Amino acid sequence: MTTWPHALDRAGINSPVLRDAYTLQRRLVARYARAEYTAVRLLLPPPLIPHVIAATAFMHHSDTLIDEGPMDQRLSALSDWSMQTRAALADGPSHLDPVLAALRHTTKAHPQLRQYVHAYLEGGELETRWTGFTTEADFRDYVDTYALPAFMIIASLLAPSREQKAFEAACHAFILAGQRLDFLEDLAEDLNSGRLGIPEEALIDHGLTRDALIKQPEPSVVQALISHQASLIRHDLVAAAQLEHHTDTRHQPFLRALVRLQSARLAAAETHGPKLLRSAPRPPLGRALLILLQALTTRALPRHRR
- DSSP codes of every residue in 176-240: HHHHHHHHHHTHHHHHHTT---S-HHHHHHTT--HHHHHT---HHHHHHHHHHHHHHHHHHHHHH
- Is there a single domain that holds both residue 172 and residue 290? yes
For residue 272, being part of any structural domain is answered with: yes
For residue 156, being part of any structural domain is answered with: no
Q: Residues 275, 199: contact at Cβ < 8 Å? A: no
Number of domains in the chain: 2
- Is there a single domain that holds both residue 65 and residue 177? no
**CATH number, domain at 6?**
1.10.600.10
- Is there a single domain that holds both residue 23 and residue 147? no
For residue 18, being part of any structural domain is answered with: yes
- Is there a single domain that holds both residue 138 and residue 273? yes
DSSP label of 135: S
- Is there a single domain that holds both residue 174 and residue 97? no
For residue 189, being part of any structural domain is answered with: yes
- Is there a single domain that holds both residue 95 and residue 140? no
For residue 71, being part of any structural domain is answered with: yes
For residue 221, being part of any structural domain is answered with: yes
Chain centroid to Cα 62, Å, comes to: 12
DSSP label of 247: S
- Is there a single domain that holds both residue 65 and residue 142? no
Please report the pLDDT score of residue 286 as a whole number. 93
Left if phi > 0, otherwise alpha if psi is -120 to 50, otherwise beta: which for 44?
Answer: beta
For residue 276, being part of any structural domain is answered with: yes
- Is there a single domain that holds both residue 116 and residue 139? no
d(C-alpha 10, C-alpha 57), whole Å: 20
- Is there a single domain that holds both residue 53 and residue 84? yes
Distances from the Cα of 218 to the Cαs of 172, 184, 194, 222, 230, in angstroms? 34, 18, 21, 7, 19
Domain boundaries, position 297:
132-151+161-306
Q: In terms of C-beta distances under 8 Å and separation of at least 24 residues, what long-range contacts does 225-228 make, across chains too?
A: 225/198, 226/184, 226/269, 226/270, 226/273, 226/274, 226/276, 227/270, 228/202
- Is there a single domain that holds both residue 115 and residue 244? no
Question: Residue 265: CB partners within 8 Å, gap ≥ 6?
Answer: 181, 185, 281, 283, 284
- Is there a single domain that holds both residue 235 and residue 100? no
d(C-alpha 58, C-alpha 24), whole Å: 12
Q: Residues 202, 184: contact at Cβ < 8 Å? A: no
Q: What string of pLDDT tens digits covers the 306 residues of the chain?
A: 789 999 999 999 999 999 999 999 999 999 988 888 999 999 999 999 999 999 999 999 999 988 888 899 999 999 999 999 999 999 877 788 999 999 999 999 999 999 999 999 999 999 999 999 999 999 999 999 999 999 999 999 999 877 789 999 999 999 999 999 999 999 999 999 999 999 999 999 999 999 999 998 999 999 999 999 999 999 999 999 999 999 999 999 999 999 999 999 999 999 999 999 999 999 999 999 999 999 988 765 544 434
Burial class from Cβ neighbours inside 10 Å (0-12, 13-18, 19+) for residue 158 reads buried
- Is there a single domain that holds both residue 233 and residue 91? no
